[in-house]
Structure 1
Amino acid sequence: MKGSSVTLNSDLTEMKDNDQIQWRFGNQNTSLAEINKQTDSMTVYDDVLDGRFRNRLRLDKQTGSLTITDITAEHTGDYELQINSVTKCFLLTVY
């Protein structure tokens, strides 16, 4: 629903020391966020795609789940989560 928040769950309860996570959006696989436990780094790219995600992305450092706040129709689309070599896809539709 427009204006609410949605969490795309990684289904992890806790990331392991060697886990790498990357979230991507859309047909161009635009990077939204990533966590690399080996280097203890976490990055959120919320200024991509003309700023449609600016100040709206929350990445859970423990689980790797991604929350999008104050969603709009611009956030409708395909989201891809890659955990190490495993890929999980989400389709988000905002009304």
Structure 2
Amino acid sequence: MLPDPARYDRFHQVVAGHVRDARLWRNLSQEDLAHAAGVSPRTVVALESGRSGILLDKLLAIADAMQMPLTDLVREPATEAEQPRDDAQQA
């Protein structure tokens, strides 16, 4: 069975969003993050664009540079059924 290219595209977009959000939350520029992770600024730009995959070792270096678990960068968003509901919605 061949892999679904759309699934890979969605995954790249998810990772891109997590990296960008974490970087901005930490007030880091793309260049600052690249320097801290030991990767090129071009790598960070490509990753955040969601148009490019990245080697796992580079993604791990980026997670380490932001002092966060790698799993936070690669987790898929919860589906609506998995998201916690507040009391108002349950009543």
So what's the TM-score if we normalise by structure 2? 0.28
Larger Cα Rg: Structure 1 or Structure 2? 2
More strand by share: 1
More helix by share: 2
So what's the TM-score if we normalise by structure 1? 0.28
